Structure 1
Amino acid sequence: MTTTTTTTTTDNKILTSAIETYRHYAGQPTLSDIESCHQDSNDEILHLTPYFSTMDLVKLENLTYTRSFTYSLKTRQLLFTSNVTTINKNIVRRLVSPDGKYLALVTKEMKGEQELNYVQIWHDEHLIFGYEVSDSKISPHGKVLPKNDYASFFEWSPDSRRLIFTAEEKRKPFKSYFTAEKLDDLGESFSTYRENWGEQMETLETCVVCVFDVDTKQVKLIENHPKDLYFGQCTWTTNQDEVILVAFPLEPYRLGLIFCENRSSAFFKCNWRTNEWIQLTEFDKICRLFPRHLPKTDNQFVYLQSDINGAHKQCQRLILFNTQTKEEKILIDRVDNVKYSNVNTDPFTAEWDTQFKGLYLPLPHLCYSRDGRYLLLRSVSGSRNVIYIYDFTEQKMISLDSPLGVDTSMNGLAIFGHYVAVNIVDCRTPYRFYIYDLKTLNKTDKDNNGWHLIVQHEFKKEEKNQIVWNIDRFFPDNETIPVESIYVHTRDTQTKRPLMVLIHGGPNSVISLDYYVGVVAYIGLGFDLLIVNYRGSLGFGQASVDKLLGNISKTDVGDCHEAIQRCLKYTEPSRPVVLIGGSHAGVIIGRLIGEYPDEYAVAVLRNPVTDLLHVYATSDIPDWAIAQSTNAQFDFETGRNLFMDTALITYLIERSSIRLIDQVKTPVLLHLGKKDRRVPYSIGLRYYECLKAKKIPTKLYVYDSNHSLSEVPNASDIFVNTVLFISEHLDLPS
């Protein structure tokens, strides 16, 4: 009886501690974007309005809000800080015009079982235009498409007189064959299958392109839209009647698009007044994304280029395109190999390597200085987010270094005039909002006078100083491609804390130095964290990305195992190790607990890839399984039907972690999303059933969600359930 009571008390303490720790760290605001930044006529005062995000664990939802700041450049003092203005969760789109005078809003509202969309245009404090999208007298379109980096846009023209956006095609409401008074009233059957762009993009089926004209107060549908194409990205030209658009083919069928920057695409130029469409490039072996037209130069825009097929994310080229001559010029080429000066380091004695390793992140929407000289570039360098400025006058790229040193990451938000808005973060700091003055960029004496700290959020000093981190870098197989790890832990700990190893999915992704709620919360509960960026991760050159093609479940598994062993050698070899990760991390973790059944205490998996054949047959990205497993290219004609290729099928089975299920001893916790299109729910469910059949300690939680499981109710539930499951199999401090 005493033992039961003690166990219950301990469990309750752990549960309470998990809830309160997560509540504390999840409630810390982070800086997510910036709405506007304007300076006065004397260039002495800045007016800034950034967006912040936090979790509301009462309503169980993400909360976005703005705050306005007035800052004196002359005295370097913050003059005014506004109160919080929350952003209504029913807002579909919100965008301030470049001159700051107009605000475009799209909101949604339920009326019975029907969702209505309302479009509003505000000028200062006046509502100057508004309509409901089903009003056929005003609206030529259906619902305005929600924000998506690949398949929708919502952009003011540079002169703030027009707004271009994508919306659903207007459809006749369906009426039953047996109740319609006229055959013309039938509309399309509700059971008709409509293709979409897969995972997290199911609502993006069709699109039309529309323009709202401030001068005429009218909404125009751009006609002659090629019906076999989907237009997903846009940039205005210097001619306010013309835009450049990115088109994706719809035939013969669609593959998943989110996080897949290797899809065939082409550029079109469109005159929205005359409905003229001109194709600028072919649908060839190139993926063209994120066009941004030069603000002061006619007929020229930059974009990011990568190859189709292969890895879903790659090292990209920055291209300058001339719309008259259709000539392309490489401004910044992809980096294939990165040379490191010191390839023989003991565990966790490495220093940050600051050399340029390529471009990997999208171009910001507001990426040009007002005079058009400078272009803001965001990227990853090893395990850090970094910023570069491209100087069109000097035709060179300049690294914008953090005023706080290399032990931070920098997220470039936007350029306003000649000021860059930057968020500087690290593992223990949710945000530091800085402004950088580009007028100081080319100074010979590199001081920090160009940097202006607007506002920052930090924990209490004693709490902040407890969290520290070290970097490890090693080179497996005597190659020049590194594996990089970040060890996040408490300072001068006296206890043998469990080591939690965080392995990213992708696999062509990266976990960079940043503030993560889960990381700091786990540390607060008594864990130390090891973040592993294995070969194949972004930020280490294209050779690293290519290294994993045809080598998953071998190279990545070996890299992670060696990274863990180095950390144990550096710290405490006998400490228990918990593996945690999702998606492609299922390949790695599933192999680790199968190949090393006595070395890992607990495994926690979210929507894991445990069966590569199942992924190939059912995922929205079958090309991923083929490329990563065999380094083969996907062909639309035969790519979905390669089951006659017995060598391929055999290889997919052999490299699947479910094949090692008989060797697993490690307790396994699974979190699955029922709406996951990327790694369908049935894959994890089969793995769970196999574990149960072998009497391996396991538990499964299922969420009405997609691949990311990122909604606040899910993320918070996953955190607490993870702590409870680990506590069942490890002795945790209560």
Structure 2
Amino acid sequence: MSSQLETIVAAYKTLTKIPSLSGGKLNKAANKVTAKWSVRNLDKGKNTTYATSYTLDSELYVTDESDFGTDISNEILSAISPRENYKAIIREEKNGKDTKKQYLEVWNTNTLSQSVDLTALDIHGDVYADSEFGSLDWSPDEKALVYVAEKKLPKFEPYIKRKAEEKPKLDGSGETAPKKGEEYIYRQDWGEQLVGKHLSVVVVFKLATETFTVLSGVPDGMCPGQVRFSPDGNSVVGVVWETEPRRLGLIFCTNRPSYIFECTLDGAFRKLSGDGLAVRSPRLSPTGDLVWLQREAGGPHHAGHQLVLMKKNTNTITTVVDIVETEIKTANGYSFHGLYSQALPNRCFSADGKRIVLSTPQQTEIRAYVVDIESGSITDISNNRGSPYSTSVVDVRSDVILVACSSLVTPGQLYIARLPASGSEAATSWSRVTCNCDATAAVAAARVRYLQLQHAHCTHSVNSFSAIYMAPNVENKQFPLIVWPHGGPHSNFVNAYSLEAALFTTLGFALTRINYRGSIGQGEANVRSLLGHIGDYDVKDCLLTLTTLLERDEMLCPENIFLNGGSYGGLVVAHLAGLYPDKFRAVVMRNPLIDLASKANYADNYDGCAAESGFDFTEKGPVSEDQLLAMRRCSPIAHVHKVKAPTALMLGSGDKRVPHFQGLEYARRLKANGVPTRIYMYDDNHSLSSPAAEMDNLINGAHWFMEHLQL
């Protein structure tokens, strides 16, 4: 191994020892905090998840903390009962590579009181623990639990199969004879990171009798998720997604037709939200009011949401926070560009139920807010008055707020504050709870700057965008620069800790993470400005960022400019490499979107290809040649013959979002044109986030850049 590669490996190994904050909870009295962490365990080849706890005094200062972390890696869901008499855990244990079992455990304060082998019970498939469907909730009286699982399929067999004589079962199991000739019927799942999840059911477990009931009443062809008990415990509320005429990928796609629903325990079902909407995150207040996030179904995969309210015992829906076209001002004078969070905190209400505490991406940060439900007044309470941070609300209880704060130079930590009286929220004062790990010296010292850029001669009403610049803090040395647009396209980069950014900074690279037009957190007009202009506005924004930085920072080396991007970010860097072939030294792409016309046939979210190209998505009627041509013309495959920069492609064989053949097609054409090209293929999905895939693609990506530095 070369010394250069040894340097990269050593830097990566050091950075993997810094744990990532993945959650936190308050107890009912708000005097104890439980923090949840994840750390890369390189020897095991997987992440280890663990918990630490902290005791607080009346001023919310830490007085005691756990001696060691507790490994909770096999807990996929957990929930503490309302009066804190019980804790429920869904545990998944693997006996081999392909063998796993799931258990439901109920603990009281002294011991394990119940443990049920859900796999052996065989009344449903795997329990869902993902961010789209998964939930585990206690009834108010602590006598029942509700969760979501895969619907159990009937047994199938071939038309011709020799077997013993069938005898009627007398055990009351209700099992029917196997269905003949149906074992090969195609069953569509929910795509990327939800493979194998076809049709969900709501399951209620009663502790006293240890009985499980699959809730009836949910209409056929609808998938329920995000369920929780109503305040009286006689029904559950949640989200149902439509499955016909097809399932489109859910992960990172908030535009799927869906409804907020209520279903009583005896099966009476009703929709609470209207038609033509995409909804998520139903939350019940202490007084029984229901809030959720909603937007129009269809269109861009992610966009701004309304926060809406249904008062208890009414069917009237009112808007608390509307979609923001550009910006409005908060009660304390800060700019607010709308709600773009994928979910509300699990607990988000003040003690009296009159205010909601939440967080959402805003330009280059995640910011925290208090929303007055009656007036709609919004107050910014972000913990960034002294230094720029992203502030994410993780729990609210007894008028105490727990948030996660981090920046590109500071790993995530928990902070806490007491919610001030209504009207005084701007005075929220934060104190730190966790102090378990700091950034390395090189990362902590790095320079971070926000850029607000505007095109001087642009006729479109949306002509500005943002970017984040990060550079090593070293004097008398020029740095190579990585131009780095995000994926999505309707997502954004925020000033939050990133192992990948930390790695490149440690290795001496400066980087700019670009929120081109179309990014979230800058108003709905910004999101929709990209539709019909992909491969144009995003490319021009990256180019303006690059030219601006080269003009402003003499520490940057103009001969060493690199491109890095994944997914839609791969589309942008592929465009840049083809349109400006002499500007860039080398390119690294992860699962890049290369050709919208071909992706539209196979990806799990192919509706986006039409939307981003400026068309309404439909599968009705004849195939439009005009649309196919428009998709091809705005795709970087149109410029592949002009690329000169050596290119490395990191591809996932199980990618449902941008199938790996996109990258293979691009690589074949690069090689045919004499461009140095290397392909890495991982047994992973779109994110390439499994420990083995992440380690290999980050190290090899950094090495690719360093190999092509002009010294």
Contact 2:348–2:395 (8 Å) recurs in 1: yes
- 1:89-130 per-residue CA deviation (whole Å, 9 max, x = no partner) reads 3x3322333333322222334567653322222222322222
What's 1:707 paired with? 686
What's 1:720 paired with? 699
What's 1:680 paired with? 659
Higher deviation after alignment, 603-612 or 488-497: 488-497
Q: Aligned in 2, Cα 1:578/1:117: closer, same or farther, shift over 3 Å?
A: same
| Per-residue deviation, 1:573 | 5.8
What's 1:663 paired with? 642
| Per-residue deviation, 1:288 | 1.5
What is the letter of the counterpart of residue 56 of structure 1?
Answer: N
Q: Aligned in 2, Cα 1:222/1:456: closer, same or farther, shift over 3 Å?
A: same
> Which among 108, 115, 119 is matched to residue 130 of structure 1?
115
What's 1:107 paired with? 91
Q: Aligned in 2, Cα 1:339/1:320: closer, same or farther, shift over 3 Å?
A: closer
Q: Return the alpha-carbon distance in structure 2 between the equivalents of residues 13 and 124 of structure 1.
A: 54
What is the letter of the counterpart of residue 215 of structure 2?
Answer: I
Does 2:366 correspond to 1:385?
yes
Q: Aligned in 2, Cα 1:610/1:395: closer, same or farther, shift over 3 Å?
A: closer
| Per-residue deviation, 1:411 | 1.1
Q: Return the alpha-carbon distance in structure 2 between the equivalents of residues 383 and 525 of structure 1.
A: 24
What is the letter of the counterpart of residue 277 of structure 1?
Answer: F
SS in structure 2 at match of 1:459: coil
Q: Return the alpha-carbon distance in structure 2 between the equivalents of residues 609 and 681 of structure 1.
A: 9
What is the letter of the counterpart of residue 308 of structure 1?
Answer: A
Does 2:275 correspond to 1:275?
no
SS in structure 2 at match of 1:331: strand
Q: Return the alpha-carbon distance in structure 1 between the equivalents of residues 133 and 306 of structure 2.
A: 21
Q: Return the alpha-carbon distance in structure 2 between the equivalents of residues 421 and 497 of structure 1.
A: 38
Q: Return the alpha-carbon distance in structure 2 between the equivalents of residues 729 and 512 of structure 1.
A: 28
Contact 1:402–1:410 (8 Å) recurs in 2: yes
What's 2:297 paired with? 308
Contact 2:471–2:510 (8 Å) recurs in 1: yes
Q: Return the alpha-carbon distance in structure 2 between the equivalents of residues 187 and 493 of structure 1.
A: 73
Q: Return the alpha-carbon distance in structure 2 between the equivalents of residues 460 and 683 of structure 1.
A: 37
Higher deviation after alignment, 462-471 or 230-239: 462-471
Once the two structures are superposed, the pairs formed by residues 426-505 of structure 1 within 5 Å of their partners are 426-439=407-420, 442-443=423-424, 450-459=429-438, 462-463=441-442, 465-476=444-455, 477=458, 479-505=461-487
Does 2:127 correspond to 1:144?
yes
Q: Aligned in 2, Cα 1:441/1:494: closer, same or farther, shift over 3 Å?
A: farther
Does 2:3 correspond to 1:22?
no
What's 2:105 paired with? 120
Q: Aligned in 2, Cα 1:464/1:664: closer, same or farther, shift over 3 Å?
A: closer
Q: Return the alpha-carbon distance in structure 1 between the equivalents of residues 373 and 427 of structure 2.
A: 23
| Per-residue deviation, 1:14 | 1.0
Contact 2:286–2:353 (8 Å) recurs in 1: yes
Higher deviation after alignment, 597-606 or 428-437: 428-437
| Per-residue deviation, 1:384 | 0.5
Does 2:287 correspond to 1:292?
no
What's 2:618 paired with? 635
Contact 1:55–1:712 (8 Å) recurs in 2: yes
- 1:615-656 per-residue CA deviation (whole Å, 9 max, x = no partner) reads 1111111210000012x2223535xxx53x121111111111
Contact 1:458–1:464 (8 Å) recurs in 2: no
Structure 2: where are the runs of 5+ without partners? Answer: 167-175
Contact 1:265–1:286 (8 Å) recurs in 2: yes
Q: Return the alpha-carbon distance in structure 1 between the equivalents of residues 439 and 73 of structure 2.
A: 31
Does 2:583 correspond to 1:599?
yes
What's 1:357 paired with? 337
What's 1:223 paired with? 216
What is the letter of the counterpart of residue 275 of structure 1?
Answer: G
Q: Return the alpha-carbon distance in structure 2 between the equivalents of residues 420 and 619 of structure 1.
A: 40
Q: Return the alpha-carbon distance in structure 2 between the equivalents of residues 535 and 173 of structure 1.
A: 51
What's 2:241 paired with? 248
Q: Return the alpha-carbon distance in structure 2 between the equivalents of residues 364 and 182 of structure 1.
A: 55
Q: Return the alpha-carbon distance in structure 2 between the equivalents of residues 81 and 592 of structure 1.
A: 51
Q: Aligned in 2, Cα 1:134/1:66: closer, same or farther, shift over 3 Å?
A: closer
Does 2:499 correspond to 1:509?
no
What's 1:181 paired with? 164
Structure 1: where are the runs of 5+ without partners? Answer: 1-10, 41-45, 341-352
What is the letter of the counterpart of residue 224 of structure 1?
Answer: G
Q: What's the RMSD between the two structures over aligned residues?
A: 2.4
Once the two structures are superposed, the pairs formed by residues 570-609 of structure 1 within 5 Å of their partners are 570-571=552-553, 572=556, 574-609=558-593
Higher deviation after alignment, 239-248 or 569-578: 569-578
SS in structure 1 at match of 2:704: helix
Q: Aligned in 2, Cα 1:125/1:593: closer, same or farther, shift over 3 Å?
A: same
> Which among 66, 76, 91 is matched to residue 51 of structure 2?
66
Percent of residue pairs identical: 28
Q: Aligned in 2, Cα 1:395/1:160: closer, same or farther, shift over 3 Å?
A: farther
Contact 1:419–1:438 (8 Å) recurs in 2: yes
Q: Aligned in 2, Cα 1:216/1:394: closer, same or farther, shift over 3 Å?
A: farther
Does 2:186 correspond to 1:197?
no
Q: Aligned in 2, Cα 1:458/1:404: closer, same or farther, shift over 3 Å?
A: farther
What is the letter of the counterpart of residue 218 of structure 2?
Answer: H
Contact 1:568–1:575 (8 Å) recurs in 2: no
Q: Return the alpha-carbon distance in structure 1 between the equivalents of residues 675 and 95 of structure 2.
A: 49
- TM-score scaled to structure 1, two decimals? 0.89
Does 2:63 correspond to 1:78?
yes
Contact 1:69–1:82 (8 Å) recurs in 2: no
What's 2:170 paired with? none
What's 2:169 paired with? none
SS in structure 1 at match of 2:22: strand
| Per-residue deviation, 1:357 | 0.9
- 1:230-283 per-residue CA deviation (whole Å, 9 max, x = no partner) reads 1122233222111222111121221111111111112221111x221123344x
Contact 2:302–2:491 (8 Å) recurs in 1: yes
Does 2:186 correspond to 1:206?
no
Q: Aligned in 2, Cα 1:628/1:714: closer, same or farther, shift over 3 Å?
A: same
Higher deviation after alignment, 591-600 or 567-576: 567-576
SS in structure 2 at match of 1:165: strand
SS in structure 1 at match of 2:479: coil
What's 1:548 paired with? 530
SS in structure 2 at match of 1:530: strand
Does 2:6 correspond to 1:13?
no
Q: Return the alpha-carbon distance in structure 1 between the equivalents of residues 313 and 28 of structure 2.
A: 34
| Per-residue deviation, 1:550 | 0.9
SS in structure 2 at match of 1:181: coil
Contact 1:577–1:601 (8 Å) recurs in 2: yes
Contact 2:56–2:63 (8 Å) recurs in 1: yes
What is the letter of the counterpart of residue 519 of structure 1?
Answer: A
What's 2:508 paired with? 526
Q: Return the alpha-carbon distance in structure 1 between the equivalents of residues 57 and 273 of structure 2.
A: 47
Contact 1:427–1:520 (8 Å) recurs in 2: yes
What's 1:370 paired with? 351
SS in structure 2 at match of 1:500: strand
Q: Aligned in 2, Cα 1:590/1:105: closer, same or farther, shift over 3 Å?
A: same
- TM-score scaled to structure 2, two decimals? 0.92
What's 2:173 paired with? none
Contact 1:339–1:480 (8 Å) recurs in 2: no
SS in structure 1 at match of 2:27: strand
SS in structure 2 at match of 1:498: strand
SS in structure 1 at match of 2:132: coil
Q: Return the alpha-carbon distance in structure 1 between the equivalents of residues 318 and 71 of structure 2.
A: 44
Q: Return the alpha-carbon distance in structure 1 between the equivalents of residues 260 and 206 of structure 2.
A: 24
| Per-residue deviation, 1:154 | 2.0
Does 2:314 correspond to 1:331?
no
Does 2:416 correspond to 1:425?
no
- 1:41-60 per-residue CA deviation (whole Å, 9 max, x = no partner) reads xxxxx111110111111212
| Per-residue deviation, 1:395 | 4.5
Q: Return the alpha-carbon distance in structure 2 between the equivalents of residues 285 and 668 of structure 1.
A: 43
Contact 1:496–1:575 (8 Å) recurs in 2: no
